[in-house]
Amino acid sequence: MYKGLRVVVVMPAYNAEKTVAQTYQEILEQEIVDTIILVDDASTDKTSEIAERLERIRVILHQTNKGYGANQKTCYKAALASEGDIVIMVHPDYQYTPKLIPAMAALIAEGLFDCVLGSRILGTGALKGGMPLYKYLANRTLTFGQNLLVGHKLSEYHTGYRAFSRKILETLHLESNSNDFVFDNQMLAQIIYNNFSIGEITCPTRYFAEASSISFQRAVKYGLGVIATSLEFRANKIGMMSSPRFNNITTN
């Protein structure tokens, strides 16, 4: 626990057999973590088998592949059921270092922010860490457009390393979001729309053969979904739309 608050780490997993144990071990080294939950989205490798042999980890297995967004929905429901006060998403592909967990948890526990993002763009390490140039340029371009449309200022909207207060997960209508990769972006848009505070810390960038990646076609689909989400956000803000994603606040 951290300052009397229960810290839960969730790992949305798919085909992470080569890196899940290494990620898990580094999470364990962060002594403030109370519970670790891994949701395996019907991997075709031995991800769940390896995870189930590890101690202090709860494994939830999707019988069919539901998508990255659907995986997160399961993660957050399980985290709330585990009485998590601070919930941190760490990808099991070891692309993001779990060593930042204490810092991210502290920013929420101290009441400074409701959400904390591990940004690969803050600082100068993204390209040095192996981020492909086209991904870097796409990230910067999309982020610039999003900041204009949603009226916020973040260094990036596309990191998968995130920490949330319990209040965020109890408030946002996450079921209205996509089951695919754009879920991440829709959730951030909801957080901003509902005036939750967001902090960012610099996160080292690590790209290597075992790290997960999406195809160019899915990346294009994601980019279009990001633009659509930002336009939907703006339309709701000025009263042109009233979509459940932004206006139907509920408890999940």
Residue 135 has pLDDT above 50, yes or no: yes
Q: CA–CA separation, 224 vs 81, rounded Å?
A: 34
Residue 110 has pLDDT above 70, yes or no: yes
Confidence category of residue 175, pLDDT binned at 50, 70, 90: very high
pLDDT for 133 equals 86
**pTM of structure:** 0.93
Q: CA–CA separation, 239 vs 246, rounded Å?
A: 12
Q: What is the mean pLDDT of residues 168-172?
A: 96
Residue 72 has pLDDT above 70, yes or no: yes
List, for residues 181-203, the tens digit of each pLDDT value.
999 999 999 999 999 999 999 99
Q: Which amino acid is at 117?
A: L
pLDDT for 248 equals 54
pLDDT for 251 equals 42
List, for residues 9-44, the tens digit of each pLDDT value.
999 999 999 999 999 999 999 999 999 999 999 999
Strands 58-61, 35-40: pairing is parallel
- 94 to 11, 20, 161: CA distances (angstroms): 11, 7, 11
pLDDT for 206 equals 77
List, for residues 44-60, the tens digit of each pLDDT value.
999 999 999 999 999 99
Q: What is the mean pLDDT of residues 59-67?
A: 97
Residues 6+ apart with CB under 8 A from 163: 86, 87, 88, 89, 101, 104, 105, 107, 108, 115, 116, 117
Confidence category of residue 209, pLDDT binned at 50, 70, 90: low
Confidence category of residue 252, pLDDT binned at 50, 70, 90: very low
- CB burial of 88-119 (b: ≥16 within 10 Å; e: otherwise) equals bbbbbbbbbebebbbebbbbbbeeebbbbbbb
